[in-house]
């Protein structure tokens, strides 16, 4: 998901205005097929919300997305998509039979991909009961990303019933593992040598959460680690001289926070949690810490990974005093590649023009979503909200308000039409 927070809007990114894309977008607004598709989106808005509620009600905890994947695949087939069996990690891939011919793994013609993610952040057993008051829906995962999944279905139905056909193959994909520890494993698999997109794609458009203004064209990369330092421990006085894991880790962490970080590309290091030790008068046997690096640039992540390993490796030491040594374990909890799609790339231009055509002033944004992965591979990718407003994501109080819901889906559809080249 991407958070609706000010730091996510790029200060340097006054969106470009490209008359050519705007002209084409405005022409589409009068196209009978697109007009009919928008009317259908409005007319079936209640059904779209019903779908959103139904999908939210199917639990999809991290690493347990298969049930929701099965339900989603059924709904995709009902919309008329060709849907293959879930892939090795659980992604569901469908495609428009009317669009350019495509089979999984085909190199050409390069497909357009629109996707959303199946997984939520909520653990198994989380109570999910959708509360509904008019156009306000409240439930864990109701927006992130049940809204995106629902938009895939509504977009497909509207495009097919309006007989909008595409020259490019058009793929509709539901991914696993977008959130947290999932570490983008769904989209990672799609672009891997055994994935459906192993031959790449023309553009990758992720629908994640609510909103109609933002266009994420920079993928914030991140590295997450857990470092654990273990030693023999002992009594604070009797065993003094025995290496102390907390002393060693405090030094390493202080050194970490002294590593210079560039502001352009924006890069951060934050220590989130630490723990260890059992008593004020004992040398601990263990100390641990979890920390994170984020950056707009892949090269900074790679540099920081080396810096981190170099600094922490110094903790594991020889044993000059004969009192035992400290042993470091460094686990990488996650690695999200950084990447970006330039503001003047046709994918971004198309989304900007589509947003403006619907009467909304667009904003370029930075976030961490499924689009990070294709961006890091040089595949043009963006992430859009799927209409409506939302808040309290990743909490049990998550809500979605259906304001301009159909317009959000119409924006994604128009972006795809512009990318299809006409």
Q: Binding residues for a second copy, per CB under 8 A?
A: 3, 5-8, 220, 222, 224, 226, 235-240, 244, 246-247, 249-251, 253-254, 257, 268, 270-284, 287, 289-292, 294, 333
To the nearest whole angstrom, how small is the minimum distance from the Cβ of residue 39 to a second copy? Answer: 39
Give the residue among 310, 391, 320, 416 at the shortest CA–CA distance from 136: 391
Dihedral of alpha carbons 75, 79, 80, 83, sign: negative
Judged by CB, which is closer to a second copy: 198, or 247? Answer: 247
Judged by CB, which is closer to a second copy: 393, or 409? Answer: 393
Distance CA 337, CA 333 (A): 13
To the nearest whole angstrom, how small is the minimum distance from the Cβ of residue 128 to a second copy? Answer: 22
Distance CA 302, CA 253 (A): 19
Judged by CB, which is closer to a second copy: 7, or 344? Answer: 7
| Tokens coding 67 | 């049930």
Distance CA 42, CA 404 (A): 10
Judged by CB, which is closer to a second copy: 333, or 377? Answer: 333
Judged by CB, which is closer to a second copy: 5, or 101? Answer: 5
Classify residue 213 by burial, with Cβ atoms within 10 Å: 0-12, 13-18, 19+: middle
Neighbours of 135 (CB within 10 A): 14
To the nearest whole angstrom, how small is the minimum distance from the Cβ of residue 58 to a second copy? Answer: 26
Judged by CB, which is closer to a second copy: 166, or 225? Answer: 225
| Tokens coding 32 | 């009978």
DSSP class of residue 182 equals G
Judged by CB, which is closer to a second copy: 137, or 393? Answer: 393
**What ranges in 282-370 are assigned the alpha helix state H?**
298-313, 346-357
Q: What b/e readout covers 345-375, taking b as 16+ CB neighbours within 10 angstroms?
A: bbbbbbbbbbbbbbebebbbbbbbbbbbbbb
Judged by CB, which is closer to a second copy: 118, or 283? Answer: 283
Distance CA 256, CA 203 (A): 38
To the nearest whole angstrom, how small is the minimum distance from the Cβ of residue 238 to a second copy? Answer: 4
Give the residue among 269, 257, 77 at the shortest CA–CA distance from 174: 77
Judged by CB, which is closer to a second copy: 6, or 318? Answer: 6
Element (H, E) at 137: strand 136-138
To the nearest whole angstrom, how small is the minimum distance from the Cβ of residue 18 to a second copy? Answer: 30
Dihedral of alpha carbons 59, 62, 67, 71, sign: positive
To the nearest whole angstrom, how small is the minimum distance from the Cβ of residue 134 to a second copy? Answer: 31
Judged by CB, which is closer to a second copy: 58, or 250? Answer: 250
Tokens 């939302």 sit on residue: 390
| Tokens coding 201 | 């794609």
To the nearest whole angstrom, how small is the minimum distance from the Cβ of residue 29 to a second copy? Answer: 35
To the nearest whole angstrom, how small is the minimum distance from the Cβ of residue 229 to a second copy? Answer: 12
To the nearest whole angstrom, how small is the minimum distance from the Cβ of residue 176 to a second copy? Answer: 20
Give the three-state DSSP class for 199. Answer: coil
Beta bridge partners of 240: 242
Give the residue among 286, 304, 282 at the shortest CA–CA distance from 295: 304
Distance CA 387, CA 412 (A): 9
To the nearest whole angstrom, how small is the minimum distance from the Cβ of residue 131 to a second copy? Answer: 26
Judged by CB, which is closer to a second copy: 63, or 274? Answer: 274
To the nearest whole angstrom, how small is the minimum distance from the Cβ of residue 333 to a second copy? Answer: 7
| Tokens coding 386 | 């799927």
Give the residue among 172, 219, 220 at the shortest CA–CA distance from 382: 219
């Amino acid at each position: 998901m991407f958070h609706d927070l000010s730091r996510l809007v790029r200060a340097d990114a006054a969106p470009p205005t490209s008359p050519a894309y705007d002209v084409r977008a405005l022409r589409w607004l009068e196209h009978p097929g697109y007009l009919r598709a928008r009317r259908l989106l409005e007319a079936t808005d209640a059904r779209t919300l019903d779908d959103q509620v139904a999908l939210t009600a199917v639990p999809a905890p991290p690493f347990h997305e298969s049930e929701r994947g099965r339900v989603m695949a059924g709904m995709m087939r009902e919309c008329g998509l060709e849907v293959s069996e879930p892939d090795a990690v659980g992604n569901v891939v469908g495609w428009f039979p009317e669009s350019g011919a495509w089979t999984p793994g085909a190199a050409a013609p390069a497909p357009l991909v629109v996707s959303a993610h199946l997984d939520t952040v909520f653990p198994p057993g989380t109570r999910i009961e959708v509360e509904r008051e008019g156009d306000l829906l409240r439930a864990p995962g109701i927006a992130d990303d049940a809204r995106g999944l629902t938009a895939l279905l509504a977009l497909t139905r509207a495009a097919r019933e309006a007989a909008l056909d595409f020259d490019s193959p058009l793929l509709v994909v539901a991914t696993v593992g977008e959130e947290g520890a999932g570490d983008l494993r769904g989209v990672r698999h799609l672009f891997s040598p055994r994935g459906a997109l192993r031959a790449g794609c023309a553009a990758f458009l992720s629908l994640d959460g609510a909103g109609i203004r933002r266009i994420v064209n920079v993928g914030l990369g991140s590295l997450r680690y857990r470092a654990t330092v273990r030693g023999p421990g002992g009594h604070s006085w009797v065993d003094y001289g025995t290496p102390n894991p907390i002393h060693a880790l405090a030094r390493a962490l202080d050194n970490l926070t002294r590593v210079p970080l560039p502001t352009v590309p924006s890069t951060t290091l934050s220590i989130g949690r630490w723990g260890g030790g059992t008593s004020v008068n004992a040398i601990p046997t263990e100390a641990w810490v979890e920390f994170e690096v984020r950056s707009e640039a892949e090269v900074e992540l790679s540099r920081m990974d080396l810096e981190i390993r170099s600094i922490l490796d110094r903790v594991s030491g020889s044993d000059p005093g004969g009192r035992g040594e400290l042993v470091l374990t460094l686990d990488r909890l996650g690695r999200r590649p950084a990447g970006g799609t330039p503001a003047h790339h046709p994918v971004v231009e198309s989304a900007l023009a589509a947003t403006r055509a619907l009467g909304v002033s667009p904003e370029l944004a930075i976030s961490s979503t499924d689009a990070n992965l294709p961006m890091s591979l040089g595949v043009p990718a963006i992430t859009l909200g799927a209409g409506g407003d939302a808040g309290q994501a990743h909490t049990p109080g998550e809500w979605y308000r259906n304001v301009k819901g159909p317009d959000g889906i119409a924006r994604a559809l128009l972006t795809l039409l512009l990318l299809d080249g006409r």
